[in-house]
Amino acid sequence: MTITPPESPAAFSLTAAREALRAGRLTATDLTRACLSRIALRDNAVRAWTCLNADALAEAATIRPDDPRPLAGIPVGIKDVIDTAQLPTGANSPLQGGLRPGVDAPVVQVLRAAGAIILGKTDTTEFAACGRDAATGNPHDPARTPGGSSSGSAAAVADFQVPFAIGTQTGGSTIRPASFCGIPALKPSWGLITTEGMRRYAVSFDTIGLFVRDPADLDLLADVFALPPAPALPPGRLRLGLTLTPYADALEVEGRALFDSRAARLAPVADLVPFDLPEGAADLDQLHRCIQHCEGASAFLHLSRTQGDLLHPDFHDRIEYRTGFTQRQHYEAYDRLALLRMQVEDRLAGVDALIAPSAPGFAPLGRTPGNPLFNALWTALQLPVMNLPMPGMELPLGLSLIVRRAFDRQLPALAARLAAAL
Amino acid sequence: MTITPPESPAAFSLTAAREALRAGRLTATDLTRACLSRIALRDNAVRAWTCLNADALAEAATIRPDDPRPLAGIPVGIKDVIDTAQLPTGANSPLQGGLRPGVDAPVVQVLRAAGAIILGKTDTTEFAACGRDAATGNPHDPARTPGGSSSGSAAAVADFQVPFAIGTQTGGSTIRPASFCGIPALKPSWGLITTEGMRRYAVSFDTIGLFVRDPADLDLLADVFALPPAPALPPGRLRLGLTLTPYADALEVEGRALFDSRAARLAPVADLVPFDLPEGAADLDQLHRCIQHCEGASAFLHLSRTQGDLLHPDFHDRIEYRTGFTQRQHYEAYDRLALLRMQVEDRLAGVDALIAPSAPGFAPLGRTPGNPLFNALWTALQLPVMNLPMPGMELPLGLSLIVRRAFDRQLPALAARLAAAL
3-state secondary structure of B294: helix
How far does the CA of residue A164 sit from the closest CA of chain B (Å)? 19
3-state secondary structure of B50: strand
Count Cβ atoms within 10 A of the Cβ of residue B409 and give its class: 0-12 exposed, 13-18 middle, 19 or more buried.
buried
Note whether residue B164 is domain-resident: yes
**What CA–CA distance (Å, rounded) separates B70 from B54?**
23
In A, minimum Cα distance to B197 occurs at A197
Note whether residue A421 is domain-resident: no
Pick from B224, B248, B271: which residue ends a domain? Answer: B224
Among B23-27, B260-264, B400-404, name the one with the lowest average pLDDT.
B260-264
Q: Are residues B213 and B262 in the same domain?
A: no
Task: List the helix and strand counts (H, then E) for chain B.
Answer: 13, 11
Residue A237: φ, ψ to 5°: -65, 140
Q: Which amino acid is at B305?
A: R
Which pLDDT value is given to residue A1?
60
Residues A33-82 have pLDDT tens digits of 999 999 999 999 999 999 999 999 999 999 999 999 999 999 999 999 99
**What CA–CA distance (Å, rounded) separates A176 from A360?**
9
Q: Which residue among A109, A191, A327 sits closest to B192, beta carbon to beta carbon?
A: A327
**What CA–CA distance (Å, rounded) separates B377 from B169?**
12
Among B88-97, B118-127, B224-233, name the one with the lowest average pLDDT.
B88-97
Would you tell me the crossing angle of helices B284-307 and B373-380 to the nearest 10 degrees? 90
For all residues of chain B together, what is the average pLDDT?
96
Q: Which residue among B101, B196, B302 sits closest to A200, beta carbon to beta carbon?
A: B196
Q: For chain A, what is the HEC assignment?
A: CCCCCCCCHHHCCHHHHHHHHHCCCCCHHHHHHHHHHHHHHHHHHHCCEEEECCCHHHHHHCCCCCCCCCCCCCEEEEECCECCCCCCECCCCCCCCCECCCCCCHHHHHHHHCCCEEEEEECCCHHHCCCCCCCCCECCECCECCCCCCHHHHHHHHCCCCCEEEEEECCCCCHHHHHHHCCCEEECCCCCCCCCCECCCCCCCCEEEEECCCHHHHHHHHHHCCCCCCCCCCCCCEEEEECCCCCHHHCCHHHHHHHHHHHHCCCCCEEEEECCCCCCHHHHHHHHHHHHHHHHHHHCHHHHHHHHHHCCHHHHHHHCCCCCCCHHHHHHHHHHHHHHHHHHHHHHCCCCEEEEECCCCCCCECCCCCCCHHHHHHHHCCCCEEEEECCCCCCCCEEEEECCCCCCCHHHHHHHHHHHHC
Which pLDDT value is given to residue B263?
87
Note whether residue A35 is domain-resident: yes
Q: Are residues B154 and B30 in the same domain?
A: yes
- Residues 132..171 of A with a Cβ closer than 8 Å to B: which? none
- Confirm if A418 and A390 have CB atoms less than 8 A apart: no
Q: Which residue among B191, B299, B382 sits closest to A196, beta carbon to beta carbon?
A: B299
- Residues 223..262 of B with a Cβ closer than 8 Å to A: which? 225-226, 228
- Confirm if B355 and B372 have CB atoms less than 8 A apart: no
Q: Are residues B207 and B259 in the same domain?
A: no
Q: Are residues B35 and B153 in the same domain?
A: yes
Name every residue whose Cβ is closer than 8 Å to that of residue A364 and which is 6 or more positions away in sequence. Answer: A144, A145, A370
Q: Does B343 touch chain A (CB under 8 A)?
A: no
Q: Are residues B259 and B348 in the same domain?
A: yes
Q: Does A298 touch chain B (CB under 8 A)?
A: yes
Name every residue whose Cβ is closer than 8 Å to that of residue B184 and which is 6 or more positions away in sequence. Answer: B178, B211, B212, B213, B214, B215, B217, B218, B386, B387, B388, B389, B415
Count how many residues are written for chain B: 422
Taking residues B262-269, what's their average pLDDT?
91
3-state secondary structure of B207: strand
Residue B406 and residue A328: Cβ atoms within 8 Å? yes
Please tell me the number of Cα atoms within 13 Å of B252 on its side-chain side. 12
Helix (H) or strand (E) holding B383: none
Q: Are residues B273 and B196 in the same domain?
A: no
**What CA–CA distance (Å, rounded) separates B123 from B125?**
7
Note whether residue B314 is domain-resident: no
Parallel/antiparallel/unpaired status of strands A238-242 and A270-274: parallel
What angle is formed at CA A389 by the lines to CA A383 and CA A395, rounded to 5 degrees?
130
Note whether residue A315 is domain-resident: no
B356: which strand partners?
B400
Residues A201-237 have pLDDT tens digits of 999 999 999 999 999 999 999 999 999 999 999 999 9
Q: Are residues B81 and B148 in the same domain?
A: yes
Tell me which residues of A are annotated as active site: 79, 149, 173
CATH number at residue A84: 3.90.1300.10
Residue A328 and residue B204: Cβ atoms within 8 Å? no
Q: Which among B260, B258, B153 is positioned nearest to B210, based on CA atoms?
A: B153
Name every residue whose Cβ is closer than 8 Å to that of residue B115 and which is 6 or more positions away in sequence. Answer: B63, B67, B69, B70, B71, B72, B73, B74
- Confirm if A158 and A139 have CB atoms less than 8 A apart: yes
Which chain B residues have a beta carbon less than 8 Å from that of A330? 191, 406
Which pLDDT value is given to residue A322?
86
Which pLDDT value is given to residue A296?
96
- Confirm if B101 and B82 have CB atoms less than 8 A apart: no
Q: In what order do the strands lie in the sheet with B385-389?
A: B49-52, B117-122, B75-79, B164-169, B207-211, B185-187, B385-389, B398-402, B353-357, B238-242, B270-274
A 10 A CB-CB count for A26 gives 20
Which pLDDT value is given to residue B422?
86
Q: Which among A84, A281, A280, A83 is positioned nearest to A198, based on CA atoms?
A: A83
Name the residue with higher pLDDT: B177 or B391. Answer: B177
Q: Are residues B190 and B252 in the same domain?
A: no
Residues of chain A with pLDDT under 50: none
Note whether residue B63 is domain-resident: yes
Q: Is B187 a catalytic residue?
A: no
Whether the per-residue pLDDT at B125 is higher than 70: the answer is: yes
How far does the CA of residue B12 sit from the closest CA of chain A (Å)? 27
Note whether residue A166 is domain-resident: yes
Q: Are residues B85 and B30 in the same domain?
A: yes
Residues B326-381 have pLDDT tens digits of 999 999 999 999 999 999 999 999 999 999 999 999 999 999 999 999 999 999 99
Among A293-297, B137-141, B193-197, B259-263, name the one with the lowest average pLDDT.
B259-263
A 10 A CB-CB count for B279 gives 9
Q: Which amino acid is at B170?
A: T
Residue A113 and residue B196: Cβ atoms within 8 Å? no
First-residue to last-residue Cα distance in chain B: 18
Q: Which amino acid is at A203?
A: V
Q: Are residues B66 and B165 in the same domain?
A: yes
- Confirm if A77 and A153 have CB atoms less than 8 A apart: yes
**What CA–CA distance (Å, rounded) separates A333 from A351?**
27
Which pLDDT value is given to residue B1?
60
**What CA–CA distance (Å, rounded) separates A356 from A245?**
7
Q: In what order do the strands lie in the sheet with A385-389?
A: A49-52, A117-122, A75-79, A164-169, A207-211, A185-187, A385-389, A398-402, A353-357, A238-242, A270-274
Note whether residue B219 is domain-resident: yes
Tally of domains within chain B? 2
Q: Are residues B160 and B264 in the same domain?
A: no
Q: Is B121 a catalytic residue?
A: no
Q: Which residue among A100, A228, A341 sits closest to B327, beta carbon to beta carbon?
A: A228
- Host domain of residue B272: 238-282+329-421
Count how many residues are written for chain A: 422
DSSP at B415: H
Which pLDDT value is given to residue A37?
98
Pick from B202, B224, B246: which residue ends a domain? Answer: B224
Q: Are residues B155 and B119 in the same domain?
A: yes
Residue B305 and residue A225: Cβ atoms within 8 Å? no
Q: Which among A197, A226, A216 is positioned nearest to A78, based on CA atoms?
A: A197
Provide the CA A204 distance to its chain's centre, in angstroms.
17
Which pLDDT value is given to residue A126?
95
**What CA–CA distance (Å, rounded) separates B64 from B68?**
9
**What CA–CA distance (Å, rounded) separates B198 from A196?**
9
**What CA–CA distance (Å, rounded) separates A202 from A15?**
33
Pick from B224, B258, B291: which residue ends a domain? Answer: B224
